[in-house]
Structure 1
Amino acid sequence: MRIDAHQHFWQLERGDYGWLTSDLEPLYRDFMPDDLAPHLRQHGIDGTVLVQAAPTSAETEFLLDIADKTPFVLGVVGWTDFAATSAADDIARLAKHPKLVGLRPMIQDIADDDWMLRPDLAPAFEAMINADLTFDALVLPRHLSQLRQLLSRHPRLRCVIDHGAKPDIAGEKFDGWANDIALIAKESGAYCKLSGLLTEAKKDATIADLAPYVAHLLEYFGPERLVWGSDWPVLTMAASYEIWIEITAALIRDEPARRAILGSNSVDLYRIPIS
């Protein structure tokens, strides 16, 4: 089974995508299941994990409704306010939906780099553990030290680092990111998403530009804790779905490893029920 573990849908008229402005012209339109389905069929992708793109509970309900109506959406990573006094109850309620598999605060957009370490958020993280949900860590390289501390505080929290923590591939910055993400891989059971890397690279990036970053993730997380995602439609800012599939095949030549990264690892990470 092949799974795209990171994709988005949105409708502009909903009005809660603060980051999505007309300056992002290729993305500034609606993207819905009928737009993605042809790509999935062409490349033999059996299902997806649909990930939030707005920090609102309303969008989470919107995505869960799509999932209910769309067989290829196997799971939803939603959003809830971790700082709310009702956070633990809210998480328990959301977890009752059979397709809610995780939650994602939009940490990259939060001004306080230490936000995730706030004591008042601990009940939300513990509620995620109790509900058996996955924490999608939308972080940048500067957050990796804090994420390492968070995972040390909550060792039972199932976590996946989105987009490899968005290394600055265009700026060829490697060492600091490489050291910090390797420590997380060695000290925790965190997974990492092989996604979103093309949009962090320079325009017309080559396989050689991405190779050291992918090789580093593969070395430290191994083929058992990497999961593949397209980050579609954000991907389209850099390349097509087909090109990202081809680049993945070129960078991960071992067939058993590629099968795990494009399939069974996502099932394990997100506890996706597969008949």
Structure 2
Amino acid sequence: MRIIDTHLHLIYPDRLSYPWLKGAPAINRPWPADTYWAEVKTLGIEQALHMEVDVAEPDIESETAFVLGLPGIVGCVAACRPELADFPRQLDRLLAIGGTRIKGLRRILHEVDDAVSTPQLFADNLGRLALHGLTFDLCLRADQLHLGLALARKLPEVTFILDHCGNPDINGIGLDPWRADLRAIAGLPNVQGKVSGIANHCDPDWTTETLRPYVEHVIDSFGWDRVVFGSDYPVVTKTGTLTRWVESLREIVGSDSAENQQKLFAGNAERIYRLA
């Protein structure tokens, strides 16, 4: 099964600053491209889309330029600050750096106050993405899915990708109310679902059956044409390995048709992120 990883984080502390890593000691070290490719060469992962790693704001453009030169990286989702009046110029600078290899933008919202994404300026700035065919990845906690729903409703012309299955609190409150909130945001045709980033919400002894109801609900809610695969490497290593995540996901969807599995693992990514 050919796989495109739509959510790879590569970490180079000698070149870029990652303030948040001080609070994540399990992964607070370099995670270079060669280490990643050494693990995934037997998994079928052929290409990867680099996902911004919440670098310090002055490093946003430097990160974008650097990762696009790394092996196997077919494009990137760059960091941005849509809450700022300077966003149009930031967007222009990013496009000047990466051109069509910039496939989308992301502003991590689960680490900032909810009020960051609610002003009209934020929506107006994101509306500019449609002019360039760029997507916007939504990184929200499960209790913030209403924020993504509001943005996607305001901007039907923008394609949103909901990261990490909407970050369900698997170890805490479980399936509900995440299940209904996920169904609601999936009801908007301009929102796609990323099957990624849920193993790290579990204890290290998680099994395929721990993840199954969450993965199946995301696929059932979005449908096979609107889901993509992401590794969330190296965050996935906090409670397991990338190999274990891929093998479990293959088991969960293994009874579905080869056509549907290929949509999840590669085909939809090529279309949604314009990789083909």
Bin the TM-score by the shorter chain: over 0.9
8 Å CA contact 2:33–2:70 kept in 1: the answer is: no
Q: Is 1:49 the counterpart of 2:49 in the alignment?
A: yes
8 Å CA contact 1:76–1:102 kept in 2: the answer is: yes
How far 1:90 sits from its partner (Å)?
A: 2.0
Amino acid at match of 1:139: L
Amino acid at match of 1:270: Y
Mapping of 1:11-50 within 5 angstroms?
11-14=12-15, 16-21=17-22, 24-50=24-50
Deviations 1:129-152 (A, max 9, x none): 111111010101111112111111
8 Å CA contact 1:91–1:124 kept in 2: the answer is: no
Name stretches of at least 5 consecutive residues in structure 2 with no aligned partner.
none
8 Å CA contact 2:167–2:197 kept in 1: the answer is: yes
Amino acid at match of 2:8: Q
Residue 271 of structure 2 is matched in structure 1 by 268
Amino acid at match of 1:76: C
Distance 2:62 2:124 in 1: 22
Distance 1:48 1:149 in 2: 30
SS at match of 2:183: helix
Mapping of 1:123-202 within 5 angstroms?
123-202=124-203
8 Å CA contact 1:196–1:235 kept in 2: the answer is: yes
Amino acid at match of 2:268: N
Name stretches of at least 5 consecutive residues in structure 1 with no aligned partner.
none
How far 1:175 sits from its partner (Å)?
A: 2.0
Amino acid at match of 2:250: A
Residue 63 of structure 2 is matched in structure 1 by 62
8 Å CA contact 1:152–1:188 kept in 2: the answer is: no
Distance 1:10 1:60 in 2: 15
Residue 233 of structure 1 is matched in structure 2 by 234
| 53-62 or 243-252, larger mean C-alpha shift | 53-62
| 218-227 or 168-177, larger mean C-alpha shift | 168-177
Residue 107 of structure 2 is matched in structure 1 by 105
Amino acid at match of 2:143: R
Residue 258 of structure 1 is matched in structure 2 by 261
Residue 90 of structure 1 is matched in structure 2 by 90
How far 1:57 sits from its partner (Å)?
A: 5.1
Compute the RMSD of aligned alpha carbons.
1.7
Deviations 1:202-251 (A, max 9, x none): 22111111111111101111111111111111111111121111101111
8 Å CA contact 1:114–1:146 kept in 2: the answer is: no
Residue 80 of structure 2 is matched in structure 1 by 80
8 Å CA contact 1:194–1:227 kept in 2: the answer is: yes
How far 1:188 sits from its partner (Å)?
A: 3.0
How far 1:76 sits from its partner (Å)?
A: 0.6
**Percent of residue pairs identical:** 24
| 253-262 or 8-17, larger mean C-alpha shift | 8-17
Distance 1:31 1:129 in 2: 32
SS at match of 1:42: coil
SS at match of 2:224: coil
8 Å CA contact 1:57–1:80 kept in 2: the answer is: no
Amino acid at match of 2:81: D
SS at match of 1:170: coil
Seen in structure 2, the aligned counterparts of structure 1 residues 100 and 132 have a Cα distance that, compared at 3 Å, is same
Count of paired positions: 270
